[in-house]
């Protein structure tokens, strides 16, 4: 196994290109790091970093972890020689422009020709801005999200001091619209969060039905697409998921995480609002921010102040290489991940040792190890997880409500299940190897029981 290092040469060329832009400045003695100490500390750092699971390798098929594209890595590193701050144009002129362009491309992917939006530190901060806006427009009204939504919504609502309620999920892991409607009848709801791609199952909430209820009850619809947003480009979604993605242009706000499926290093989320005039809610009168021109400074439409221009540079470069268009190379890579998940789900379904929880809607597969009871299935799942890891196959674990697995005696409220996020396109080609190691792990897990 070798890590990709070819881009280091390209990075060196890019840094030379960058310095041409500053050639007329008087020379500055480059601060020569004490090279022996530098090298030894860097080596020590690399050894410390060996204590990680191989997130970049297809045999890592556990949590939502995907390596950044080499062009993102190189562009990010190159930008750190300037270290721009995208708070104000004065601190990051080029990178602020690149952020506006890259974010407009993401908005266009969702069908919005105009928008208000920017990059954030991640999905949590982006969702915080969406719910904060809901609180600005519907002060004191409740936020609703499904029981399968990300736990961040409940916590963010507490931070914003907005009431929060969970809506039940159905047996597919999607928001139950009947439960939603009966909660709406209380009349105190300001915003419903629709998750397109839940973190656990990758389930897609029924957005068209939620939007119909919006017409009737009047609330904001926020789409949390932190994980699943880019799947709008895939060509092999099931019909309900396709309908949900096709309804996205009608929501009020969207969150997507370029640092999940968008090939970016961590620290890159994105918030989009459909109505550009909402920007006035961010108004502040900082005495020290250097808003020097009439042009839009991103700090005027963001809750975070300093933000890494390098994130925007990396995203912009990645989208130049891999445009966010249907039928393109990037879109194909998402369809490939989904195909891998469908094939894995088929294998799980056909194997009498497993029980598939829900049919995958994106590229996440969740399954139980068959046993008599919820507790036995849970301890078996833990053992399979451990045995697989010993053989370098890294899966994830998830607690699933026992109602989703009626085959098991419900002697406890949840069942520990195995979960695999197949978010690297290479997972498709590696699936036979993954399945082989999985069956060996099951054999090993069963042994002590006999
Ligand atoms: C990951 C995720 C979040 C949280 O985003 P971070 O980038 O981890 O802060 C929120 N919602 C969903 C659906 C997610 O998958």
Mean pLDDT of 127-140: 98
Q: Are 278 and 417 part of one and the same domain? A: no
Q: Which two tokens stand for residue 327?
A: 């039928």
Same domain, 313 and 422: no
Number of domains in the chain: 2
220 with 367, same domain: the answer is: no
- In this structure, what CATH number is given to the domain that contains residue 304? 3.40.640.10
Count Cα atoms within 13 angstroms, Cβ side, for 248.
30
Residues 380, 403 share a domain = yes
Q: Inform me whether the pLDDT recorded for 449 exceeds 60.
A: no
Residue 85 lies in a domain: no
At residue 287, the pLDDT reads: 67
CA of 288 to the centre of ligand 1 (A): 33
Give me the pLDDT at residue 439, please: 97
Instruction: Report the pLDDT averaged over residues 88-112.
Output: 96
The mean per-residue pLDDT over the stretch 145-162 comes to 98
95 with 86: CB under 8 angstroms? Answer: yes
Q: What pLDDT is attached to residue 43?
A: 97
Whether 201 is in a domain gets the answer: yes
CATH number of the structural domain spanning residue 350:
3.90.1150.10
pLDDT given at position 142: 98
Q: Which atom of ligand 1 is the closest one to the Cα of 195? A: 13
Question: Do residues 213 and 133 both lie within one domain?
Answer: yes
Asked if 247 and 126 sit in the same domain, the reply is: yes
- pLDDT at position 290, please? 58
In a domain, 229, yes or no: yes
Instruction: List the domain range (segments joined by +) for residue 392.
Output: 329-446
Distance 39 CA to ligand 1 centre (A): 36
Q: Please, which residues have CB within 8 angstroms of residue 188's CB and are 6 or more apart in sequence?
A: 141, 142, 163
Residues 273, 314 share a domain = yes
Whether 32 maps to a domain, the answer reads no
Other C-beta atoms within 10 Å of 155: how many?
Answer: 14
Burial class (CB in 10 A: 0-12, 13-18, 19+), 397: middle
Q: Looking at the structure, tell me whether residues 128 and 267 fall in a common domain.
A: yes
Is 306 domain-assigned?
yes
Is 368 part of a structural domain of the chain?
Answer: yes
- For residues 315 and 346, membership in a common domain is answered with no
Please give the pLDDT value at position 296: 83
What digits encode the pLDDT tens for the residues 38-73?
999 999 999 999 999 999 999 999 999 999 999 999
Chain-wide mean pLDDT for the chain? 96
130, 150, 259, 260: residue to mutate for ligand 1 pocket, most atoms within 8 A of CB: 150
Per-residue pLDDT, averaged over 81-95, amounts to: 95
Same-domain check for residues 199 and 132: yes
**163 plus 312 within the same structural domain:** yes
Average pLDDT over residues 364-377: 98
Q: From the CA of 150, how far away is ligand 1's center (Å)?
A: 7
- Cα torsion at 348, 351, 357, 360 (round to 10°)? 30
For a ligand 1 pocket test, name from 123, 154, 224 the mutation site with the most ligand atoms within 8 angstroms of its C-beta: 123
pLDDT of the residue at 31: 72
Region 223-229: what's the mean pLDDT?
Answer: 98
Is 385 domain-assigned? yes
Residues with CB under 6 A from ligand 1: 122-124, 127, 150, 152, 195, 199, 224, 226-227, 257, 269
User: How far apart are alpha carbons 126 and 131 in whole angstroms?
Assistant: 9
pLDDT tens profile 32-47:
777 899 999 999 999 9
52 in a structural domain: no
pTM: predicted TM-score of the whole model, two decimal places: 0.97
CA-nearest of 389, 445, 394 to 419 is 394
Regarding whether 334 and 250 lie in a shared domain, the answer is: no
Q: What is the pLDDT of residue 46?
A: 98
Assess contact for 382 and 368: CB atoms under 8 A: no
Res. 260: pLDDT tops 70: yes
């Amino acid at each position: 196994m070798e890590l990709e290092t070819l881009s280091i040469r390209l990075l060196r060329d890019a840094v030379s290109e960058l310095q041409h832009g500053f050639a007329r400045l008087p020379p500055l003695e480059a601060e020569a790091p004490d090279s022996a100490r530098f090298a030894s500390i860097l080596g020590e750092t690399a050894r410390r970093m060996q204590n990680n699971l191989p997130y970049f390798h297809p045999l890592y098929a556990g949590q939502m972890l995907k390596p950044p594209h080499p062009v993102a890595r190189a562009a990010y590193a190159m930008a750190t020689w300037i270290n721009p701050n995208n708070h104000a144009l004065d601190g990051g002129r080029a990178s602020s422009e690149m952020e506006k362009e890259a974010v407009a491309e993401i908005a266009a992917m969702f069908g919005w020709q105009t928008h208000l939006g920017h990059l954030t530190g991640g999905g949590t901060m982006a969702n915080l801005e969406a719910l904060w806006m809901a609180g600005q427009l519907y002060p004191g009204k409740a936020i609703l999200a499904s029981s399968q939504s990300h736990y961040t919504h409940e916590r963010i609502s507490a931070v914003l001091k907005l009431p929060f309620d969970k809506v039940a999920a159905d047996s597919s892991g999607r928001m139950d619209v009947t439960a939603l409607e009966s909660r709406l009848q209380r009349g105190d709801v300001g915003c419903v969060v629709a998750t397109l791609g839940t973190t656990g199952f990758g389930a897609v909430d029924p957005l068209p039905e939620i939007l119909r209820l919006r017409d009737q009850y009047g609330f904001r619809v926020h789409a949390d697409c932190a994980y699943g947003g880019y799947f709008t480009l895939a060509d092999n979604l099931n019909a309900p998921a396709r309908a949900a993605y096709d309804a996205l242009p009608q929501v009020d706000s969207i969150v997507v995480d370029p640092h999940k499926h968008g090939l970016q290093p961590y620290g890159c989320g994105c918030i989009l609002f459909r109505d550009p005039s909402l920007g006035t809610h961010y108004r502040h009168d900082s005495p020290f921010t250097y808003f020097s021109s009439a042009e839009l400074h991103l700090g005027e439409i963001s809750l975070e102040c300093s933000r890494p221009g390098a994130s925007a540079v990396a995203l912009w470069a990645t989208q130049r290489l891999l445009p966010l268009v249907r039928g393109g190379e990037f879109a194909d890579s998402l369809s490939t991940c989904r195909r891998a998940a469908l094939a894995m789900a088929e294998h799980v379904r056909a194997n009498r040792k497993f029980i598939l929880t829900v049919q995958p809607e994106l590229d996440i597969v969740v399954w139980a190890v068959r046993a008599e009871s919820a507790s036995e299935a849970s301890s078996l799942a833990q053992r399979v997880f451990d045995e697989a890891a010993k053989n370098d196959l890294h899966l994830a674990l998830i607690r699933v409500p026992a109602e989703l697995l009626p085959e098991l005696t419900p002697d406890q409220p949840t069942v520990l299940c195995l979960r695999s996020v197949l978010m690297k396109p290479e997972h498709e080609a590696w699936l036979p190897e993954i399945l082989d190691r999985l069956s060996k792990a099951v054999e090993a897990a069963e042994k002590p029981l006999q």
